[in-house]
Structure 1
Amino acid sequence: MSPRSASVNEELRRRSRERLLQATVELVGERGYEATTLADVADRAGAARGLVSYYFPGKRQLVQSAVHRLMHLTLAAALDREPRTDDGDERLARAIDAVLGLTRTHTTVMRTHMALILQHEGFIQCPEQQKLAALLEDTIARWGAADPGQDYRLLRALLMGAVVALLLPGAPMPLSSLRAELFQRYGLAWESGCPPNDEPPPRS
C-alpha cells in the first residue's frame, strides 16, 4: 500500500469513528443509556454493525469515548472562541464554564457518563480522554500551576464533583454557587468566562 493510500484509509477510519461517537451522543441524549443499542448507533452513523465492535469492545467504552469527545470539542471551542486570548485566568474560566455548561445542554449524556464512571472502573483510557486531559492540563499550566500534572488531576476531581452536584437527582446544587466556589479557589473574577446570565452572582 502506498503512503498516500495509507493516509486516505487512516482518514476514512477517523471519520467513521467520529460518526459513531457523534451518533452515540445524540442517541443517549434522546433515549438514555439502556435504550440505546450498538445497532442503533451503527444505523444512525450509517455504518456497519461490525464497525462498532471493531473500534469499541462494548457499549460502556463507546459511550465514555463519545462523552470525552464531546467534552474535548466543547472545551476546545470555548478556549478558541473570539476574542481569542492567552490570559491564563480567562482560559481557565472558560474551561470551567464549558464543562459545567454541559450539564445544561447535555444533561442525560453527562448524567450517564458520571454514572458509568462511578459504577465501573473509572475512566476509559481512550484517545478522546487523552485529548481532553491534555487540553485541561495545558489550561491549568497557562493559569500558572506550579505542578501542572498534579494540579490537572485536582482540577479534574473538582470539576467531576461539581458536575455530580449539578446532576444529583432531587437535590441539585445551583450552578452559580458551584461556579463561585471554583472561581474563588482559582482567584477568577465572576465576569470572566461565560457567566450564567439567568443567575445573579452569589453574595460574597
Structure 2
Amino acid sequence: MVPRSASVNEELRRRSRERLLQATVELVGERGYEATTLADIADRAGAARGLVSYYFPGKRQLLQSAVHRLMHRELSAGLNREPATENGRELLARAIDVILGLARDHPRLMRTHMAGILTAEGFIQCPEQQRLASLLRDTVTRYGSTDPETDYRLLRALLMGAVVAVLVPGAPMPMERLRAELFQRYGLEWTLGMPPGAEPAPPGV
C-alpha cells in the first residue's frame, strides 16, 4: 500500500475536526450541554473517541470552537449573499442581522455558549474565533472605521450584549427593538440588511 501524502493526511484531519464541530452544534442544540457527552459527539461525527481529546482539551473548548465556526459560516454566507455588495453600511447591517438571527434560531446553543464565556473558562481563542473576528474587523473597516481593532471590539461587545438580552430566560428583549437600537447606534436605515418587519416605534410613542 502506498503511504498517504502529508497533504492527504492533513485534509483527513481537517475533515475529522469539521465533523466533530458540526456534531457538537447539532447535539448541544438538540439535548443541551450537560446531556451531551464527548462520546456522543464522537459517535455522531463517526470518529474515534480519542480524536476529540486530540483536537480539543475539553468539552467547553470544543463547544466554543463549534459555535464560533457556526457564527463564522453564517456570517460569511450573510455578507456574501445576493445581491453582492461592497457597501459598508449594508454589510454592517447584514452582520448585525446574522448574529441576532443566530440567537433567534439557535437559542439553546447560543445561551450555552454565552454562559460558557461568562464563567471561569472565559473567552477562548481558536482558529474559528479568529476567522469570525477577521470577518467582523473587515466589516467595520468597510463601514469606514479608522480604528478597526477598537471598533471591532466595540461591535463584538454590543452584539454579545444584544444576544444575551434576546436569550435572558423569562425576560427576553424583543429582537426588533435590539436591532433598532444597534442600527441607530451605527446610523443604519431599517431597510438595510435583512429587516424582520416594520420598524418598532421609539419608546414612549
Same fold (TM over 0.5): yes
Equivalent AA in structure 1 for residue 57 of structure 2: P
How far did residue 130 of structure 1 move? 0.5
How far did residue 117 of structure 1 move? 0.3
The SS at the match of 2:182 is helix
Q: Runs ≥4 in structure 1, deviation > 6 angstroms? A: none
How far did residue 184 of structure 1 move? 0.6
Aligned residues: 200
Look up the match of 1:138: 138
Q: Which consecutive residues of structure 2, in runs of 5 or more, have no partner in the other structure?
A: none
How far did residue 202 of structure 1 move? 1.5
- Partner Cα distance (1:72, 1:157) in 2: 16
Look up the match of 1:189: 189
5 Å-filtered alignment, 1:123-202, equals 123-197=123-197, 200-202=198-200
Q: Percent identity?
A: 77
5 Å-filtered alignment, 1:59-98, equals 59-98=59-98
Q: Deviations over 1:133-152 (max 9, x none)?
A: 00100001100012000000
- Partner Cα distance (1:14, 1:134) in 2: 20
How far did residue 123 of structure 1 move? 1.3
What TM-score do you get using the length of structure 1 for normalisation? 0.96
Asked if residue 24 in structure 1 is aligned to residue 21 in structure 2, the reply is no
Q: Deviations over 1:95-140 (max 9, x none)?
A: 0000000011111100000000001232111100000000100001
Q: Which consecutive residues of structure 1, in runs of 5 or more, have no partner in the other structure?
A: none
- Partner Cα distance (2:109, 2:7) in 1: 33
How far did residue 32 of structure 1 move? 0.1
- Partner Cα distance (1:188, 1:13) in 2: 42
Equivalent AA in structure 2 for residue 176 of structure 1: E
Equivalent AA in structure 2 for residue 181 of structure 1: E
Equivalent AA in structure 2 for residue 202 of structure 1: P
Look up the match of 1:11: 11
Q: Deviations over 1:29-68 (max 9, x none)?
A: 0000000000000000000000000000000000000000
Equivalent AA in structure 1 for residue 186 of structure 2: Y
Equivalent AA in structure 1 for residue 171 of structure 2: A
- Partner Cα distance (1:120, 1:93) in 2: 32
Asked if residue 203 in structure 1 is aligned to residue 201 in structure 2, the reply is yes
Look up the match of 1:36: 36
